[in-house]
Amino acid sequence: MKRSIRPIFSVVFIIAAAATLCFRIMVSGVSSGGELGYRNDIVVEQRPAPVFNDTLLRFAAVDLAEDSLRQDVEQLVDGNFRDLTSGRHRSFLWSGRHRIDIRARSARGVPVQLRSPEFYRLWLEFRRYLQTWWRNHRFRDDVMSNLINIVKILNTSNDDNEKGLKYKTCAVVGNSGILLKSDLGEVIDSHEFVIRLNNARTRGYERNVGSKTSLSFVNSNILHLCARRERCFCHPYGENVAIMMYMCQMIHFLDYAVCNASHKAPLLITDPQFDILCARIVKYYSVSRFVKETGKPLDEWAGSHDGSSFHYSSGMQAVMLALGICEKVSIFGFGKSDSAKHHYHTNQKGELHLHDYQAEYDLYRDLVERPEAVPFISDKFKFPPVVIHR
């Protein structure tokens, strides 16, 4: 072979050898299940899909209070308040200027509850609110994806939120005594959107709980108490802070009908579809814990958790709301300690038995570590990252 050809032949041989070697590496990677361009010993961890217990799912989907709730709604829509005058059903109407006279009856024997044109207009508005709520009282697994619409009607200085964009960072501030001496006030206030629960005081506790409030999330018992005050004053965080509540009792729609007219900021009621979703999730976690800890059959669960009175806490639903409207969720003041007060701002001794706080803590843990394990939520919903501050 001539000397002039040898260098060319050597170059061609080297290129061919390199190409062959690269091809073998690529084929080896594909055949062994690895991705192109990566070593085969690098394995990306994939969590197995959660396995839900069908029996527990069906049990959690049954609302033990459904029949009594339907009866209450039907009676109230018909204007029959006679059977709803017990202590747990009382509204501001029994103590304020809109008193209901349940003794008066018409010539045909029909109960007369409307004593003035003013109250009649109020009752018509109450009836409209209640009927609309009841029509929407059904389960939908995709309701979480619709919660973002709530930001369009909340008072906010961020114009982007008017377009339905989620808040960047949200803090949900619980009322546990573990917040005392936490020095988390500045951390809480640094969030774009701050949700507080049941009108818990912040004055005097700013160092530990902060002072910023974007939304006051309450149960309707709070509004019921506020309705007794002049102009339904219910603004511990200022008159411009929006209030959202879930309805504990249907009679509280009367309180809402009066107070809604006097509120400067939005006074909102949670979507009943959202309520049902929260109820099912909490019941699933409660039943799961009950079966694991006691080994007893499911039909004994109700006796241990107040049966039809069992309910999620305000904090749980506020956390679920934040998941739907926020890109990142931080949770503060959830949990308990033997050395801490039950509430940082009250002297309440213990927990309400109608809530299963331990089950809710299990839920929060899953939201942080494995949100795909939360039942009843559509697979299309993307959970934001969640951080719990102790």
Q: What is the 3-state secondary structure (H, E, C) of 289-337?
A: HHHHHHCCCHHHHHHHCCHHHCCCCHHHHHHHHHHHHECCEEEECCCCC
The DSSP secondary structure of 353-369, one letter per residue, reads: TTS-HHHHHHHHHHHHH
172 near 318, Cβ under 8 Å?
Answer: yes
Residue 231 confidence (pLDDT): 74
Closest CA to 224 of 194, 195, 196, 199: 199
Output the pLDDT for position 79: 77
Check residue 191 and give its pLDDT. 98
Q: Which residues of 294-308 are buried (b: 16+ CB within 10 A; e: fewer)?
A: eeeeeeebeeebeee
Residue 30 is classified by DSSP as H
Does residue 180 contact residue 341 with C-beta atoms inside 8 Å? yes
User: What is the β-pairing status of strands 193-197 and 215-219?
Assistant: parallel
Helical (H) or strand (E) element with 208: helix 206-209
Report, as ranges of residue numbers, the positions in the chain whose pLDDT lies below 50: 1-3, 5, 11, 25-44, 85-89, 92, 94-95, 100-114, 155, 157, 161
Tokens of 246: 């879930």
Specify the 3-state DSSP secondary structure of 389. Answer: strand
Cα three-residue angle 152-153-156, rounded to 5 degrees:
80
Q: CA 100 to CA 42: how far, in whole Å?
A: 73
pLDDT for residue 227: 82
In the chain, CATH 3.90.1480 sits at 54-59+141-389
C-alpha pair distances (Å), 289 with each of 108, 109, 273, 292: 54, 52, 25, 5
Residue count of the chain: 390
Angle of helix 117-135 relative to helix 66-77, nearest 10 degrees, comes to 150
pLDDT at 47: 60
**What are the tokens at 20?**
């062959």
Residue 342: its pLDDT value, please?
72
Amino acid 152: pLDDT:
60
In this structure, whether the domain defined by 54-59+141-389 belongs to CATH 3.90.1480 is answered with: yes
